[in-house]
Amino acid sequence: MFVTLQAHEYHKYPVLMDRMFRLRKEVFADQLEWDVSVENGRERDFYDEKMPVYLVWCNEERTVLYGSMRLMPTTGPTLLYDVFRRTFPVELSLSAPGIWEGTRMCIDQDALARDYPNIDPGRAFSLMFLALCECALDHGIHTMISNYEPQMKLIYRRAGVDVHELGRADGYGKRPVCCGMFEVSDAVLSRMQSKLGISSTLYHKNGRHPDPIELAA
């Protein structure tokens, strides 16, 4: 199921939270070799102390994690402004209540292969994007901003996400870092559902578990 974890809920799901930070270390430090803060096998940073919202894909008991990402309003501290400011034009303001930043999206390929063997990593990311669109709509967010490496465009396209690249810059790692934005609307949601062959809601505040057959379609 796809649910959000807010600050007042962190303590309820210690296993899920711990696995999320360990997964982030495995993906961003070990696989992508990003210069991120790692301590005791977990990747956490300054922004995790700002009580963000986490969108997670987990089992019904919330003990197994399949994917996660961090959501933060652009009206507060963000990686977008504090770290990746060179990736979008200096005259452009992206700070507004309806604009949120999405970072640290990752999936646990081993857990997915075990429990959802018919879902490949590309579709898994697409499902995360669809759940993100539903979640954003539910919370009155009209625009999502993200920094990403160029190859992620293929994943966005597969999910039916029309990302508008605002700029890019070198000097952050082995590859350029892009800054992109995408609209959150009912029309965008409908297009993504059609592209992915999903007819029901993935994200739900009450944690409805989606049909595994539909997920793998």
Residues 3-33 have pLDDT tens digits of 999 999 999 999 999 999 999 999 999 988 8
172 within some domain: yes
**For the chain, how many structural domains are there in total?**
1
According to DSSP, residue 210 is labeled P
Q: Tell me what the mean pLDDT of segment 187-205 comes to.
A: 91
pLDDT of residue 56: 97
92 within some domain: yes
Could you tell me the two tokens for 133? 């669109």
Q: Tell me what the mean pLDDT of segment 67-95 comes to.
A: 96
Which residue type occupies 14? P
Which domain does 57 fall in, by range?
2-208
Q: What percent of the chain has pLDDT over 90?
A: 80
Strand partners, 168: 178
pLDDT of residue 210: 54
Rounded to two decimals, the pTM is: 0.92
CA atoms within 13 A on the CB side of 142: 5
pLDDT of residue 101: 98
Q: How high does pLDDT run on average in the chain?
A: 92
Q: Contact 73/97 with Cβ under 8 angstroms?
A: yes
6 within some domain: yes
CATH number at residue 29: 3.40.630.30
Q: Tell me what the mean pLDDT of segment 183-200 comes to.
A: 94
**Number of other CB atoms surrounding residue 160 within 10 Å:** 19
Edge-to-edge strands of the sheet including 164-169? Answer: 2-5, 53-58, 65-73, 99-107, 143-148, 177-183, 164-169
Q: Which of 48-52's residues contact partners 24+ apart within 8 Å by CB, and which partners? A: 48/21, 50/76, 50/77, 51/6, 51/7, 52/7
Q: Contact 36/22 with Cβ under 8 angstroms?
A: no
103 within some domain: yes
214 within some domain: no
Q: Which three-class secondary structure state does DSSP give residue 102?
A: strand
213 within some domain: no
Q: What percent of the chain has pLDDT over 70?
A: 94
